[in-house]
C-alpha cells in the first residue's frame, strides 16, 4: 500500500513539473529563457562534478565534415563492439581480413571506457530540427554528434592525453580497415558504395613507356607535399583524358585509384543546382581522393551563353509553347557556369583540403573551352587512342596468357592499316567458351580487323564517289551558265580529277614525314 502511494506521489510530481515547464516555455520570451538557462547551468556546475565535450558531425555551418567526429567514429567502431548493447553493422571487403563486418554504436547508445584507471562515458546521439511536415524517411537535416563525459578532476589527462590517444589509434584502425569507396553526388551530398573495379596498371592496355611516364608522375605528386608548399601551390593535380570511346579512359581512372589508394568521387554536374552547391560538394570531399567529371563536353553547356531560340512571325518575336517548356526546364535544371567550375578546379576554393587529383574525360577535346583545359588546371593531357601492336600484346597477355604467337605478325600489320579500339580488340580476344583455343581467338581478331579494313575502304570509296558527283554537278552548272562545249567540260573534269589524284598520292608521304619527325628523324 505504501509503495502504491509513493508511485502516485511521483506521478503527481512529474505531471506538475511538466505543467510548469510548459507554462514556462509559453509565457517567458526566448531571451529570458536563455538567461535563465545560463544561471541554471552555472548552479548545476557547482554541484555536478562532470565535464561534457560534444563532437558534432559537421563544422562551419554544415559546410565540412568534422575530422574529429570521423576519427571518433572509427575509434569507437573498434572498441564498442564488446560493450554496447545496440550496434550498427557494415560489411567491408578488405583483402586479408578475418572480420568482414565492422560494428559501431547505434544512435542514442552509451558505453563506458577506462583510460589509465579513469572512467569515461561515450554517447552517440542525433538531433532533428522541428518541422511541420511528417515523413517516414529520415530527415536530411539530422545532426549527429558524440558526447564525451568525464570527472572534472581528470580534465588535463583527458584533454591532453586521452583525446590524442583516440586520434592516433583511429588512424591505425582506418588503415587496417581501409576500403576504397566510389562516391556519387546528389545536389549537395555524397553517397558511396565500395569501389571494386579490378583494373590496375599491370592490366592496363597501353604502351609501356607511356604507362611508366604516368606512374612516375603520380609518384612525384604523392610524395610532393613539401614541394607544393615550397612553390606556393595547392597540393592538387589535374589530368585530361581524351580519345575515342572504348580507348580505356574509365579503366585508366580505376588503375590510378588502385595505384594511389585514393577514393573516387564521380561528380555529376547535371545534378548540381548552382555554383554554391558545387563548392559545398568540393569541400566535403576527403583528401587522398580522385574527383572525376566524365564526358565533360556532354555534362553541361559551360560556355555561359545559354541560347534562347525564338521564332519570328511578321517581324515580331514570339516563343513557341515547346520553347516555354524548355525554359521551365532550364529554371529547375543545373545553373553551374564555366566560371564556377573554373573556380572549383583552380580558384581559391580548390585549396580547401589537399592531396586531390582532378580528372576530366572527353571524346572530343576540341569542343572544350581552352580556359578549362589549359596547363595549370589540367596539368597533364593524356591521349588514349586506337589499339597499336604494343597495346595488343598487353591484351593478349591478359586475356589469353600468351606473349608470342606466329599470328602476331599478321595482327601487327593489320593494326597498322586499320583503326580499332582496345575495347573491340579485347572483345575479340576473349574466349567465348571454356574449350576455345588461343589460335581460334586470334583468328577471330584477324577476321574482325580485316572486316574493319574493308569497311573503311568502302567508306573511303563512297566519299570519293560523292566528291566526284559533286564535281560533275558543278561542271554541268558551269556548262549551262557559260555555254561551254562538252569537250571543254570533259577536259576541265579530267584536269580536276588529276589534281585530286596528285593530292591524294602525296598524303602518305606527308604522314610518313610527320611520323618520322615525331620520332626525332628528319629527312
C-alpha dihedral sign at 398, 400, 404, 410: negative
Report the residue count for the chain: 523
Its CATH class, for the domain covering 193-306+332-383, is alpha beta
Task: Provide the angle, in degrees to the nearest 10, between the axes of the packed helices 389-400 and 438-482.
Answer: 140
Residue 293: phi, psi to the nearest 5?
Answer: -120, 105
159: Cβ–Cβ under 8 A, 6 or more apart, which residues? none
What confidence score (pLDDT) does residue 344 get? 84
What DSSP state is assigned to residue 229? H
How far apart (Å, rounded) are the C-alpha atoms in residues 45 and 48? Answer: 5
117: Cβ–Cβ under 8 A, 6 or more apart, which residues? none
Are the beta carbons of 287 and 263 closer than 8 angstroms? no
Cα angle at 438 between 434 and 444, to 5 degrees?
95
Q: Are strands 87-91 and 101-105 parallel, antiparallel or unpaired?
A: antiparallel
What confidence score (pLDDT) does residue 107 get? 87
Residue 406: phi, psi to the nearest 5?
Answer: -70, -15
How far apart (Å, rounded) are the C-alpha atoms in residues 60 and 369? Answer: 34
What confidence score (pLDDT) does residue 512 get? 35
How far apart (Å, rounded) are the C-alpha atoms in residues 500 and 497? Answer: 5
What confidence score (pLDDT) does residue 523 get? 35
Task: Provide the angle, in degrees to the nearest 10, between the axes of the packed helices 438-482 and 486-518.
Answer: 140
Are the beta carbons of 106 and 129 closer than 8 angstroms? no
Are the beta carbons of 470 and 477 closer than 8 angstroms? no
Are the beta carbons of 309 and 326 closer than 8 angstroms? no
Q: Output the tens digit of pLDDT for each of the chain's 523 residues.
A: 556 666 677 777 777 777 777 776 777 777 777 777 777 766 666 678 899 999 998 876 656 788 899 999 989 988 887 778 888 887 766 555 555 677 778 888 899 999 999 999 999 998 876 655 555 445 556 788 999 999 999 999 999 999 999 999 999 988 888 889 999 998 888 999 989 999 999 999 999 999 999 999 999 999 999 999 999 989 999 999 999 999 999 999 999 999 999 999 999 998 999 999 999 898 889 889 999 999 998 876 654 444 444 444 444 444 454 555 555 444 556 788 888 888 888 888 777 778 999 999 999 998 888 888 888 789 999 999 999 999 999 999 999 999 999 999 999 999 999 999 999 999 999 998 888 889 999 999 999 999 999 988 888 888 888 877 776 676 666 566 555 555 665 666 666 666 655 544 444 444 334 433 333 433 3
Are the beta carbons of 393 and 403 closer than 8 angstroms? yes
Q: Is 470 helix (H, G, I), strand (E, B) or coil?
A: helix
77: Cβ–Cβ under 8 A, 6 or more apart, which residues? 102, 103, 104, 105, 173
Kindly state the cell numbers that stand for 165: 590517444
What DSSP state is assigned to residue 388? -
26: Cβ–Cβ under 8 A, 6 or more apart, which residues? none
CA-CA-CA-CA torsion for 408, 411, 416, 421, nearest 10 degrees? -110
Q: Scan for cell 628528319, then name that residue.
A: 522
How far apart (Å, rounded) are the C-alpha atoms in residues 330 and 318? Answer: 18
Structure pTM? 0.73
CA-CA-CA-CA torsion for 101, 107, 109, 114, nearest 10 degrees? 60
Q: Is 148 helix (H, G, I), strand (E, B) or coil?
A: strand
Amino acid at each position: 500500500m505504501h509503495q502504491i502511494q509513493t508511485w502516485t506521489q511521483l506521478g503527481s510530481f512529474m505531471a506538475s513539473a511538466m505543467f510548469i515547464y510548459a507554462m514556462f516555455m509559453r509565457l517567458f520570451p526566448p531571451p529570458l529563457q536563455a538567461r535563465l538557462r545560463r544561471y541554471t547551468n552555472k548552479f548545476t556546475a557547482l554541484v555536478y562534478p562532470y565535464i561534457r565535450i560534444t563532437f558534432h558531425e559537421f563544422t562551419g555551418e554544415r559546410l565540412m565534415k568534422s575530422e574529429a567526429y570521423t576519427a571518433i567514429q572509427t575509434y569507437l567502431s573498434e572498441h564498442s563492439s564488446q560493450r554496447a548493447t545496440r550496434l550498427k553493422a557494415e560489411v567491408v571487403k578488405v583483402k586479408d581480413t578475418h572480420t568482414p563486418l565492422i560494428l559501431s554504436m547505434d544512435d542514442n547508445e552509451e558505453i563506458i571506457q577506462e583510460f589509465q584507471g579513469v572512467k569515461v562515458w561515450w554517447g552517440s546521439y542525433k538531433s532533428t530540427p522541428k518541422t511541420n511536415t511528417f515523413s517516414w524517411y529520415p530527415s536530411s537535416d539530422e545532426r549527429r554528434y558524440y558526447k564525451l563525459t568525464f570527472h572534472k578532476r581528470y580534465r588535463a589527462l583527458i584533454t591532453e592525453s586521452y583525446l590524442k590517444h583516440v586520434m592516433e589509434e583511429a588512424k591505425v584502425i582506418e588503415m587496417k580497415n581501409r576500403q576504397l569507396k566510389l562516391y556519387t553526388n546528389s545536389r549537395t551530398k555524397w553517397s558511396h558504395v565500395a569501389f571494386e573495379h579490378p583494373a590496375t596498371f599491370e592490366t592496363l592496355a597501353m604502351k609501356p613507356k607511356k604507362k611508366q611516364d604516368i606512374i612516375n608522375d603520380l609518384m612525384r605528386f604523392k610524395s610532393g607535399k613539401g614541394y607544393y608548399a615550397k612553390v606556393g601551390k595547392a597540393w592538387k593535380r589535374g589530368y585530361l583524358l581524351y580519345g575515342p570511346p572504348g580507348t580505356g579512359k574509365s579503366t585508366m581512372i580505376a588503375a590510378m585509384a588502385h595505384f594511389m589508394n585514393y577514393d573516387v568521387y564521380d561528380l555529376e554536374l547535371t545534378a548540381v543546382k548552382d555554383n554554391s552547391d558545387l563548392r559545398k560538394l568540393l569541400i566535403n570531399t576527403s583528401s587522398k581522393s580522385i574527383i572525376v567529371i566524365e564526358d565533360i563536353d556532354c555534362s553541361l553547356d559551360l560556355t555561359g551563353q545559354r541560347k534562347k531560340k525564338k521564332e519570328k512571325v511578321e517581324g515580331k518575336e514570339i516563343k513557341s509553347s515547346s520553347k516555354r517548356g524548355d525554359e521551365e526546364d532550364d529554371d529547375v535544371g543545373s545553373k553551374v557556369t564555366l566560371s564556377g567550375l573554373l573556380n572549383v578546379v583552380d580558384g581559391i576554393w580548390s585549396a580547401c583540403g589537399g592531396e586531390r587529383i582532378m580528372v576530366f574525360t572527353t571524346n572530343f577535346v576540341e569542343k572544350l573551352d581552352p580556359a578549362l583545359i589549359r596547363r595549370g588546371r589540367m596539368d597533364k593531357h593524356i591521349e588514349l587512342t586506337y589499339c597499336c601492336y604494343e597495346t595488343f600484346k598487353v591484351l593478349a597477355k591478359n586475356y589469353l596468357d600468351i606473349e608470342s604467337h606466329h599470328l602476331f605478325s599478321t595482327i601487327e600489320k593489320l593494326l597498322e592499316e586499320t583503326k580499332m579500339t582496345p575495347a573491340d580488340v579485347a572483345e575479340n580476344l576473349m574466349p567465348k567458351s571454356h574449350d576455345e583455343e588461343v589460335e581460334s581467338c586470334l583468328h577471330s581478331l584477324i577476321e574482325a580487323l580485316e572486316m574493319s579494313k574493308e569497311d573503311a575502304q568502302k567508306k573511303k570509296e563512297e566519299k570519293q564517289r560523292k566528291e566526284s558527283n559533286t564535281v560533275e554537278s558543278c561542271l554541268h552548272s558551269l556548262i549551262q551558265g557559260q555555254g561551254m562545249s562538252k569537250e571543254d567540260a570533259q577536259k576541265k573534269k579530267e584536269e580536276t580529277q588529276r589534281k585530286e589524284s596528285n593530292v591524294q598520292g602525296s598524303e602518305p608521304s606527308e604522314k610518313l614525314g610527320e611520323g618520322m619527325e615525331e620520332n626525332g628523324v628528319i629527312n
